[in-house]
Amino acid sequence: MIIVRMKRDTILIGSEDWDYSTDAVMQWLKFYGEKVIRVNMEDEPEIESVDIGHGQFDFRIGLKNGDSFSLTQIKSYWLRRSELQFISRQISFGEGQSFSHVQKSLNRHLKMEIKTVQDFLEYVFKTSRQIRTLGANANYAGNKLINLKVAEFVGLKIPATSILSSKQALANLLKNTPSLITKTISDLNPIHFKIDEKNFRYVTYTNPIDGSHLPAIQDEFFPSLFQNHLEKKLEIRIFYLAGKCFAMAIFSQNDDKTKTDFRRYNNVTPNMRAPFELPDDIQEKIRLFMQKIELDCGSIDMVYTKIGEFVFLEVNPFGQFGMVSFPCNYYLEKEIADYLCGN
């Protein structure tokens, strides 16, 4: 087989078709005259061919519209909303149960085959010296518990955190910490859940918990995360990009609706938002934290308390940076485009 080396002149973006932040970055890339391939989750990428050996390498990916591209033409890769998740075609023997166990075993095997190639693709992005990546390690950075532990290790303050599954354990915790909050354990789980066929959606928020809630709680419940309630002065959203911190103050405490969770937006009188300059030592600890979890971009949530402490809450590898960019005039879309161009 003859493999033709292609010029690395194309930027690859893994996203979703509805993501307006990707659109904004692509406008800058178009302005710069860059070649861009955007692969949305809905494009159903497939493995077309992989060639390894004799000093040659090629990895070609096909899309459901008939287009295809090779990694040898990619100079930058931005994992914005969705990795290039290959579809795994399943085998069906039709109706009947005679071979159902064989069918399940074969399909399980096929999924493992695809996953091996998927892991190899991620390895290529992570180790390649020829492809500049942004967000390509995001799938390894979505564990809130690990991130809290790492944040504390690098010197950032974190809220006391417990995962409990019984009313008695919660009651004991409330004796020492009478005011708690509860929220999801995972950072990467969607906050929207489809409940029924009518497309009703339930949104999970951070909620307060105190002794008055105990009578309504079952003796045993699904393991849930609880943290001590922080007396906030400000909430801070930070977009981190390759060593730079772009911080925004959110004045959520001026509104009862947004005090516990600023995502309970008040669209009539929105929270005031403004650029915020983090102390140098906090910025340095954030850089060290992001290095430790091998993440080069993401949205970090912190709290500035009434006693003057900066407290780390969590990091979202796929956070919407537009909510920081536009109110603070940071032009993060241009910053990201510049990074992908190698400027």
pLDDT in tens, 97-153: 556 777 788 888 888 888 898 889 888 888 888 999 998 665 556 688 999 999 999
Q: How far apart are CA 254 and CA 237, in angstroms?
A: 17
Angle at 267 between CA 263 and CA 272, to 5 degrees: 70
pLDDT the model gives residue 8: 86
Give the containing element (helix H, strand E) for 10.
Answer: strand 10-15
* % residues pLDDT > 70 (the chain): 88
For residue 100, what are the contacts with CB-CB under 8 A and spacing of at least 6?
Answer: 93
Confidence of residue 190 (pLDDT cuts 50, 70, 90): very low
Q: What is the C-alpha radius of gyration for the chain, rounded to an integer number of angstroms?
A: 23
Q: How far apart are CA 288 and CA 255, in angstroms?
A: 34
Average pLDDT for the chain? 86
Q: Where in the chain is the domain with CATH 3.30.470.20?
A: 141-157+231-330
Asked if 45 and 86 count as a contact pair (C-beta separation under 8 A), the reply is yes
pLDDT the model gives residue 2: 41
Residue 343 C-alpha from the chain's centroid = 25
Angle at 74 between CA 73 and CA 79, to 5 degrees: 155
What does each C-alpha distance from 186 to 16, 34, 182, 312, 314 come to in angstroms?
21, 36, 12, 16, 10
Handedness of CA 293, 13, 190, 236 (dihedral sign): positive
Q: How many CB atoms lie within 10 A of CB 64?
A: 11
pLDDT the model gives residue 18: 87
Query: For residue 247, which of 222, 215, 282 has the smallest C-alpha distance?
Result: 282
Backbone φ and ψ for 31, nearest 5 degrees, come out as -60, -35
Give the containing element (helix H, strand E) for 228.
Answer: strand 220-228
Please check the confidence at residue 93 and state whether its pLDDT lies above 70.
no
- CATH fold group of domain 141-157+231-330: D-amino Acid Aminotransferase; Chain A, domain 1 (3.30.470)
Give the containing element (helix H, strand E) for 303.
Answer: strand 297-305
Q: How far apart are CA 134 and CA 25, in angstroms?
A: 13
pLDDT the model gives residue 198: 61
Query: For residue 226, which of 235, 217, 234 has the smallest C-alpha distance?
Result: 217
What are 301's two structure tokens?
């949530």
Please check the confidence at residue 196 and state whether its pLDDT lies above 60.
no
pLDDT in tens, 152-177: 999 999 999 999 999 999 999 999 88
Angle at 73 between CA 71 and CA 78, to 5 degrees: 65
Q: How far apart are CA 198 and CA 190, in angstroms?
A: 19
pLDDT the model gives residue 279: 96
For residue 262, what are the contacts with CB-CB under 8 A and spacing of at least 6?
Answer: 235, 250, 252, 271
Give the containing element (helix H, strand E) for 280.
Answer: helix 280-292
Please check the confidence at residue 194 and state whether its pLDDT lies above 80.
no
What mean pLDDT comes out for the span 207-231? 90
pLDDT the model gives residue 95: 61
What are 136's two structure tokens?
């390509």
